[in-house]
A and B are shown apart, each in its own frame.
Chain A
Amino acid sequence: MLFPSPYRVGSTLIQEFRDGSLLNATAISLRRVLLGYSISLVIGVPLGIVLARVKFVEDTLGSLVSAFQSLPSICWLPLALLWFGLNDRAILFVVVAGSLVSIAIAVQDGVKNLSPTYVRAALTMGTPSWRIYTHVLLPASLPSILTGAKLGWGYAWRALMSGELLFVSLGLGQMLMQGRELADMSQVLSVMAVIMGLGLLTDRLIFGSLERHVRRRWGLAGA
């Protein structure tokens, strides 16, 4: 059946929910993406700020970061499989490779566009230069960090799905692939619906409210 009815998809969804397979797969996928994404944020945000502020780092790492950005994250999978084998760490690696660089680049752009008077003002108030990073550049670039975080989340999620599709790994991606193998179109569509639903949920609940908060603080339109 190529086009199952919404009712069929709905009842498949309920059945998958009841037997626990859906929750199980979702939990596994979410755990992976959250872990990978957190690593990307923790490394990507400071990397972006340093790339924007330290000329030596930009000269040395700058083009490398741009080059990585042009590489679709799934291209890392063969390398990851050779390095880590067929396991969670390989998928994690792909997720980090997919999101870290995009976060770093968005943050770098944001910091570069900051008004230099923020730093000058902080310096005249006696702020030591290392604290400029934590007390001025980091909060000042919060709007662009949010943009980067949102972008990075999208990339992380995509990287995870492509990784999970490609080899037996549990998780939502595999469940999707399983649907194909069993020629069960309603399973395929129900998993796709769950993936989209999760995306919508994070966008509205997490990023939406964070953005509203920042816009309100900055006094920007649409708050």
Chain B
Amino acid sequence: MSAKLSIRNVAKRFSGQDHQVNALSSVSFDVQAGEFLVLVGPSGCGKSTLLSIIAGLEKADSGEVLVDGIPVTRPGPDRALVFQDGALFPWLNVRKNVEFGLRQKGVTAGEASDRAIHFLEQVGLAKFAENALYTLSGGMRQRVAIARVLSLEPEVLLMDEPFSALDAITREDLYVEVQELWQNRGATIVFVTHNVREAVTLGDRVILLASDPGRIQLEVPVDILRPRHIDDVDVARTAQLLSQSMRQGRENILQEVWNDEQFTENDLLRGFDRLMGDYRQ
């Protein structure tokens, strides 16, 4: 069985002045063609780093990333990425933002324009094609960012907390929209979030990452019927189970740090989990 995307023993360390952070320690998993995979975990678990490595923006210290069996060496439009803040270009209007990647691929101006409009239609923003970027709301901008990567028809679509800066209502609309786009287009998606409910709402499969060292803690298939809504009972129940494991994971870390079996979940809820290490000179 050959996977669309394979992550093989990927490890990454960040070096500080006299200490090191194990952002990722030997992470491996496969993503099948057409699968919607969500990576979820607390901040600092290396999920965004992992996505950057898949995108080719960062290099792993060891291990490799394969797309259709071919190792990733640099960034490319076959692994287009939706950034948390959209990363749209304010000097271009909406249509030209979507055209940008197509033009880089060598698509002619006329065709790029047609395709840009087509993909703006897909996210319901064709009307705003000639608008300046700043006239759009945050949610609309994120939809432009999605149209921009969809237009490149990537092998794997990467999304790095694309909705975390949006308000709850806009976000819920986009959950529906992304599920629809994914189902209609048969895209392969790797989606990163810190929001467990979001993960369960969107993913076919959710991988829970634990931090320090960043590693896979749990892998859960989600077979709730689509389209899912974030308030569905099944979504809530599955999310609750995942959240519990996530907290469990952090409890284990704290126990390792203090070697103290007395930590209870209540201690964690009171905010011990904010501690990320002691002061060092």
Contacts and interface: CB of A to CB of B under 8 A. Distances in A.
Interface in A141-194: 142
Contact of A131 (B76, B104, B148): B104
Contact of A117 (B76, B87, B134): B87
Interface string B77-107: 1011101010111111000000011001100
B77 A124 contact: yes
Interface of B: 55-57, 74-77, 79-81, 83, 85, 87-92, 100-101, 104-105, 132-135, 148-149, 152, 158
Contacts of B79: 124
A125 B132 contact: no
B80 A125 contact: yes
A212 B227 CA distance: 46
A139 interface: yes
Contact of B135 (A115, A122, A219): A219
Contact of A124 (B81, B134, B135): B81
B62 to A, nearest CB: 23
A139 B91 contact: yes
Contacts of B57: 120, 123-124
A136 B56 CA distance: 19
Contacts of B76: 124, 126
B134 A118 contact: no
Nearest to B88: A121
A140 interface: yes
A149 to B, nearest CB: 16
Nearest to B79: A124
A216 interface: yes
B269 to A, nearest CB: 34
A136 B100 CA distance: 10
A121 B89 CA distance: 9
A117 B81 CA distance: 11
Contacts of A124: 55-57, 75-77, 79-81, 158
Nearest to A128: B104
Interface residues of A, number: 22
A111 to B, nearest CB: 14
Contact of A125 (B85, B135, B152): B152
B165 to A, nearest CB: 13
A118 B135 contact: no
Nearest to A129: B74
A217 interface: yes
A83 interface: no
Interface of B is mostly: loop
Interface string A102-135: 0000000000000101101111111110010001
Nearest to B74: A123
A220 to B, nearest CB: 8
B85 A117 contact: yes
8 smallest A-B Cβ distances: which pairs? A219-B134, A125-B101, A121-B87, A126-B77, A117-B87, A123-B75, A139-B91, A124-B81
A142 B92 CA distance: 12
A124 B83 CA distance: 10
A142 B104 contact: no
A120 B105 CA distance: 16
Quick one: which of A121, A128, A131, A140 has the most chain B CB within 10 A?
A121
A123 B57 CA distance: 8
Contacts of A121: 81, 83, 87-89
A17 interface: no
A218 interface: yes
A127 B87 CA distance: 15
Contact of A126 (B83, B91, B101, B133): B101
Contacts of A115: 87
Given A125-B152, A142-B91, 11 more contacts: A118-B89, A120-B87, A121-B81, A121-B83, A121-B88, A123-B75, A124-B56, A124-B80, A126-B76, A139-B91, A219-B90
Quick one: which of B79, B88, B89 has the most chain A CB within 10 A?
B89
Contacts of B158: 124
B91 A217 contact: yes
A115 to B, nearest CB: 8
A15 B91 CA distance: 48
A188 B132 CA distance: 49
Contacts of A117: 83, 85, 87
Contact of B132 (A139, A142, A217): A217
B89 A139 contact: yes
A216 B104 contact: no
B77 A218 contact: no
Contacts of B55: 124
Nearest to B83: A117
28 contacts: A115-B87, A118-B89, A120-B81, A120-B83, A121-B83, A121-B89, A122-B104, A124-B56, A124-B76, A124-B80, A125-B77, A125-B104, A125-B148, A125-B149, A126-B77, A126-B101, A126-B104, A126-B105, A131-B104, A135-B104, A139-B91, A140-B90, A140-B91, A142-B91, A217-B132, A218-B90, A219-B134, A219-B135
